[in-house]
Structure 1
């Protein structure tokens, strides 16, 4: 039997998450293996987020609340989120542990063996550097597998790193339009580490992706993020065409394309290294060729496997 005590730390950045953070904490407390420490960084919440965390922290000594000053009032900022995560990691860096896990404050772990299962996966594969569960989001009264899920891409809200991998890539790089989780994943893969998302470990994501501050605003930002990573124009056009059936029909892909081209008007170049952009674009063009070989009616379908591979390339 493995000795999993004190094997990992948990890090969370929270801002105005009073509606969901209690559910997140309770799902962690149900786990068969608990973290050595859980540091929750309250980034200037104006609701009851800190009070809720504080109540749980009084009962569980591994849970720690830290309040940091926010420069953005009540507005969420993805760069600020990952700066908070990096600050949390600096608090535990001197301690001994093998894995570091990021958990968003609006995530519910559905399996009580979630952490145990991921650590077992790491134990089975010494080359595995990053792993996590599959995101499910609510559609009406039904929880559905998020189309962007992919076996080779781990969502930022549930990323667990082998510590040596996380240290090797120097953690997260805060970016203006998001994508810190994807960039960390790319750096891990470039360093020779495997990345794996585990279908048998569902997690419920209570706030739909990019819905903070308004759905359309989030989709526009996603287009800007794609451009900031150097996503190929042809790939972006094809990807948005494949999403043409998403409700509201045509609106979402057009808004995303607008964000993509708006970035090009405002900025001169991507924010990631040129060699990463070249690798990304080469893979994207290969994907476009694969898609164009399919009949047009399947080309714009919402096939989950292809959508997942699409998102893994941003």
Structure 2
């Protein structure tokens, strides 16, 4: 079975929406259903969505009232669950949280499902995002992305699916309790997968590379805001301080050079000094820090391979789903 459902929270995406909509309509393995949640757009997004919904019977558009501004982190997941709560998860083998600012190769979902069928422990996976440097992306992108000379990789780690296109085995998504309504929801989920014995992966293969039309971390305000927000999210998740310093140092080598890493440290240290709350699952934070320290000592690739091998003994695809972890720190305790 290859029934998958896309769920797309969006707001004011008129600049990019048609690119993503066309990319999905070109898929060799199209979705069984696509629920798009317009989170109060004030631009031409509703008109564009209506036009495509009239053309493709599997597209269904829901609209949330305008709250005045983007609400990052929890707001994105609120909108996601507005769509997710309207479906029967048991009717789909896979579910995907998909952003509306991407351009994808036509065999993207077909290839992901091939890999998941070959390894039943893969709970979530994705390709890798690239963006065009030095100007806006061209009107047409030639896939697969064998030549990346005009592109910049967002250099995301291999140990999770990427936040803008999280493709999940539905059974795994239900077992981990879904997404938390906080920043770093897209980091917590992958570690929760491994905690329960599932594998979370992304691959930098030409056939799975895709274009992020709005680079990650730029925020809807600025690069600085996006990177500070990421540092806050790392604090909330429970990231080890030494690992955070190493990650920020590495990020200084990527655009925007130096200041991006400094902004991450500001978000993390500022949250620490203010005593901001953390993800409310002590066992999860201990699991996370053990893995992060192993990455520092043995390297991420070796540490990930060793952890995945150890966690195979706890994997149980028939385990009862966790209580929904949607409400941040408090619900996270129940999910643990």
Q: Tell me the TM-score normalized by structure 2.
A: 0.79
> 2:123 aligned to 124, 129, 143, which one?
129
User: What is the correspondence of 1:194-209 to structure 2 with a 5 Å cutoff?
Assistant: 194-200=199-205, 201-209=208-216
Does residue 241 of structure 2 align to residue 224 of structure 1?
Answer: no
Deviation at 1:227, TM superposition (A): 1.0
Structure 2 residue 192 is matched with structure 1 residue 187: yes
1:61 corresponds, among 50, 54, 57, to 57
- Which residue in the other structure is 2:266 paired with? 258
Secondary structure of the structure 2 residue equivalent to 1:58:
helix
Which whole-Å CA distance do the structure 2 matches of 1:260 and 1:86 have between them?
28
Which residue in the other structure is 1:107 paired with?
Answer: 102
Residue equivalent to 1:297: none
Tell me which residue corresponds to 2:290.
Answer: 282
C-alpha deviation, 1:60, in angstroms: 0.9
Contact 2:89 2:170 in 1 (8 A): no
1:119-151 CA deviation, whole Å, 9 max, x = no partner? 11122122221121111122225222221242x
Matched, 1:166 2:162: no
Q: 1:247 to 1:30 in 2, by over 3 A?
A: closer
Is there any run of 5+ residues in structure 1 with no aligned partner, and where?
292-304, 310-314
CA offset digits 1:181-226 (Å, max 9, x no partner): 2212222221111122233301110111121221101111111111
Q: 2:76 aligns with which of 78, 81, 103?
A: 81
* Separation (CA, whole Å) in 2 of partners of 1:159 and 1:75: 20
Kept in 1, the 8 Å contact 2:6–2:31? The answer is yes
Distance 1:149 1:192 in 2: 19
Number of equivalenced pairs: 285
- CA distance 1:159–1:267, change in 2 (3 Å): same
Shift of 1:69: 1.8
Contact 1:54-1:65 within 8 A present in 2 as well: yes
Change (3 A) 1:118 1:39: same
Question: Would the alpha carbon gap of residues 189 and 248 (structure 1) be closer, same or farther in structure 2, given more than 3 Å must change?
Answer: closer
Instruction: Verify the 8 A CA contact 2:32 2:58 in the aligned structure 1.
Output: yes
- The 1:26/1:221 distance shift into structure 2, 3 A limit, reads same
1:3-58 C-alpha deviation (Å, 9 max, x unpaired): 64xx1111100011110011000000001111111000000011111111111111
Structure 2: gaps spanning 5 or more residues: 136-149, 305-336
Partner of 1:138: 132
| Distance change in 2, residues 1:230/1:170 (3 Å) | closer
Distance 1:271 1:95, change over 3 A: closer
Residue 94 of structure 1 and its aligned partner are, at CA, apart by: 5.9
TM-score normalised by L of structure 1: 0.85
Distance 2:178 2:119 in 1: 21
Secondary structure of 2:126's counterpart equals strand
